[in-house]
Structure 1
Amino acid sequence: MDVDAMITPQPLKTIGALAARTAAAGFSGLLFTETGRTAYLNAAVASQAAPRLDLSTGVAVAFPRSPFVTAAAAWELQEATDGRFRLGLGTQVRTHVVRRYGVDFERPGPRLRDYVRAVKACFRAFRTGRLDHHGDFYDMDFITPQWSAGPIDAPDPKVDIAAVNPWMLRMAGEVADGVHVHPLGEPGYITRHVVPNIAEGATKSGRSASDVAVIVPVMTIVGDSDEERDRERELVRTSMSFYGSTPNYAFIWDEAGFEGTTARIREKQKAGDYKGMAAQITDEHIAQFATESTWEGLADALVSKYGELATRIVLYNALADPERVERYGEVSRRISSR
């Protein structure tokens, strides 16, 4: 099981040093989310500063970029990393896509399926000079040598998608190379939904479920003193309340025995009560959805919890405190060397 560190994109002048430190600490890779800064540019800088580090977008927003633009960026990053790049894509939510990016969001699941197929068609076109994709949303059949990146000495990039509900998970198993599990994806949810639905989708396309990577972000509460762990616990509580406010994720709480959690969080959110939002996440929520441990026990705790379920785990808050990067890196090294 590989262990990556998660980070939001940083100023380009700073990301090279951070990537080099992440690699030296012992992490397998670095995963870039996408917020106000682009994941692709950060990955490009990191590829030059830490050439042995696996890099991935986790996840980049798909629909505002054409499949060809996304494929071209991924292709160059795959070349720059000597085959160590994974393209992670997601739909985002309607409000962001329509009102912030200004593009269409109708039928996001089927649209993303066609998008993944179109991206892979572009990869083939870069090698063969022939672009031929005709789907429900994207028609692409024109490429000339000067508009093609051309072949590279690396395999095609793996294409992963963010998926939560059963339909999306089956779709991922059918057309993608990996699934980014939601940060609220505790082992029970992964066992009930992620694993069987990926397997069903993979069977539909004549593949094995083992062909599809399961990439799981994990929130950790780690420290050798009560004070250290108490501080971490409150940060995790706030993060969980943010993710738990989305209606599409309510069933994850409900099935884990915490019915109505999303509704209670949203009530506080609508009132602008952010402290109240966090207060809806009890210590019982945290015990089930996060991993708490001493530093010495963290590697064993993560392997015990995710070793049979995940291809890669992504430490959600490993880079949040600069003083703890090397300690988390040592945990990563201990896990990935097993």
Structure 2
Amino acid sequence: MHIDVMTVPQPLDKIGDLARRSQAAGFSGLLLTETGRTPYLNAAVASQSAPGLELSTGVAVAFPRSPFVTAATAWELQESTGGKFRLGLGTQVRTHVVRRYGMAFERPGPRLRDYVLAVKACFAAFRTGALEHHGEFYDLDFITPQWSAGPIDAPDPKVDVAAVNPWMLRMAGEVADGVHVHPLGEPGYLARHVVPNVADGAAKAGRSPSDIAMIVPVMTIVGDSDEERARERESVRASMSFYGSTPNYAFIWDEAGFEGTTARIREKQKAGDFAGMAAQITDEHIAAFATESTWDALAGALSEKYAGVATRLVLYNAFGAQGDPERFERYGEVARRLRAG
């Protein structure tokens, strides 16, 4: 099992240090989200600062960039990491794509499927000089040596997609190399939806489910006293309320026995009551959706929950510990133990 640390992109003069510290601490790689800053430049700097560290976008927003631009960027990062880059893509939600990026959002699932296939066609074109992709949303059939990155001494980058609902999970199994599970993806959701739907998609394409990486972020609350765990517990509560406010994710709460959680969070959200949003996440929610443990027991607790399912485990909270070097290094030691086990 690979163990990554999740981070939002940093100012470019800071990401190199974080990459070196992550590698030294014992993490397999750095997973870069896309927020106010883009993940690709961070990945480029990290690749030069910590050679050998595995890097991935988790996830980059697909539709604002053409498939060719995304493919060319991923190709260069794959070259600069010596084959240790994974391209993680997601749709984002309509409001962001239409109102912030100014792009179309019709039928986002099928569009992302076509996007992934177009990106892979571009990878093939960089090696062969022939570009041929004719899909429902993207038509690509022109490339010349001047406008091609050319072949590299590394395999094609893996292309992963963020997926929550059954259709997207099946699509990931059919055309992607991995699936980014949602941060609310507790073990019951993985068993009910992720594993079987990815397997169905893989079977449709004549692939083995083992060909598709399961990239699973986990929220942890760790410490040897309740006082040590208290701050992280409240941070997890706030994160869960943020993710849980999205209507498309309501079924995850409901199926885990917490019916109506999203509606209650959204009521507080509409009133601008952020503390009230977090208050909707009870200790029972946290017990079901997070892993709380002492430091010595954390690796075992995570292994018990996710071994045999997760290909890459992403420690969601480890980035928050970067301001506390000792705590960050202890998360790294957990990563080392999980990788060894």
TM-score tier after normalising by the smaller chain length: over 0.9
Give distance in 2, aligned partners of 1:83 and 1:162.
21
Aligned-partner SS, 1:55: strand
Q: Deviations over 1:36-63 (max 9, x none)?
A: 1010000000000111110000000000
Q: Tell me whether 1:294 sits opposite 2:297 in the alignment.
A: no
Q: Which runs of 5+ in 2 are unaligned?
A: none
Matches within 5 A, 1:50-65: 50-65=50-65
Where does residue 162 of structure 1 map in the other structure? 162
Q: Deviations over 1:301-329 (max 9, x none)?
A: 00001112111110001021222111100
Give distance in 2, aligned partners of 1:16 and 1:268.
39
Q: Which runs of 4+ in 1 moved over 2 A?
A: none
Where does residue 283 of structure 2 map in the other structure? 283
Q: Tell me whether 1:110 sits opposite 2:110 in the alignment.
A: yes
Amino acid at match of 1:75: W
Q: Deviations over 1:45-89 (max 9, x none)?
A: 000011111000000000000000000000000000000000000
Give distance in 2, aligned partners of 1:283 and 1:242.
16
Where does residue 187 of structure 1 map in the other structure? 187
Find the partner of 2:335 among 328, 332, 336.
332
Q: Deviations over 1:1-41 (max 9, x none)?
A: 11000000000001001100100000000000000101000
After TM superposition, give the deviation of residue 230 of structure 1 in Å.
Answer: 1.3
Amino acid at match of 1:55: L
After TM superposition, give the deviation of residue 249 of structure 1 in Å.
Answer: 0.1
Give distance in 2, aligned partners of 1:58 and 1:232.
22
CA RMSD of aligned residues (A): 0.5
Give distance in 1, aligned partners of 2:340 and 2:55.
19
Aligned-partner SS, 1:320: helix
Give distance in 2, aligned partners of 1:122 and 1:319.
33
Give distance in 2, aligned partners of 1:180 and 1:256.
20
Where does residue 202 of structure 1 map in the other structure? 202
Give distance in 1, aligned partners of 2:340 and 2:159.
25
Give distance in 1, aligned partners of 2:103 and 2:235.
34
Give distance in 2, aligned partners of 1:231 and 1:130.
55
Give the paired residue count: 338
Amino acid at match of 1:51: P
Where does residue 133 of structure 1 map in the other structure? 133
Amino acid at match of 1:111: R
Q: Which runs of 5+ in 1 are unaligned?
A: none
Where does residue 78 of structure 1 map in the other structure? 78
Give distance in 1, aligned partners of 2:235 and 2:114.
38
Q: Deviations over 1:161-198 (max 9, x none)?
A: 00000000000000000000000000000000000000
